[in-house]
Amino acid sequence: QLQLQESGPRLVKPAETLSLTCAISGGSIRSSTLYWGWIRQPPGKGLEWIGTVYYSGGTYSSPSLKSRLTLSVDTPNNQFYMKLSSVTAADTAMYYCAGAGYCTGASCGFDPWGQGILVTVSS
């Protein structure tokens, strides 16, 4: 069964870079699904799509985050990453990684999800 686990610093200072890793178990980053994604949720607020990354390295990012966001894959270690630069308090959120699921062609939802990691931006 495919499982995802987020990891990274839980406290990041303003203006610094937020770096997260999503480790995949029970499957391969190459073949388990069409793409992998990042979604975040500020405390008490709704879900926001951050971006998606393909095992080939291709990426798509939210227009509102694109200038600060880097997405990548690490095929040998079966994990993928996100880096968000120049963070502010507005980037404080639960960050989830997820796989593409329930796909028909290139149209997919997000399934499964990791349990999420709460990242706080504060000095």
Report how far residue 30's alpha carbon sits from residue 116's, in angstroms, rounded to the nearest whole number.
Answer: 22
Task: Please state the closest distance from residue 102 (CB atom) to another protein, in A.
Answer: 4
Closer to another protein by Cβ: residue 16 or 94: 94
Minimum distance, C-beta of residue 49 to another protein, in the bound complex (Å): 4
Nearer to another protein, 76 or 105 (CB): 105
Contact residues toward another protein (CB under 8 A) are: 37, 39, 46-49, 52, 60, 62-63, 96, 101-102, 104, 106-107, 109-111, 113-116
Alpha-carbon span 98 to 110, nearest angstrom: 6
Output the smallest distance, CB 77 to another protein, in A. Answer: 23
| Separation between Cα atoms, residue 50 and residue 61, nearest integer Å | 6
Q: Which two tokens stand for residue 107?
A: 């149209």
By beta-carbon proximity to another protein, the closer residue of 17 and 68 is 68
- Dihedral of the CA atoms 60, 64, 47, 86 (nearest 10)? 100
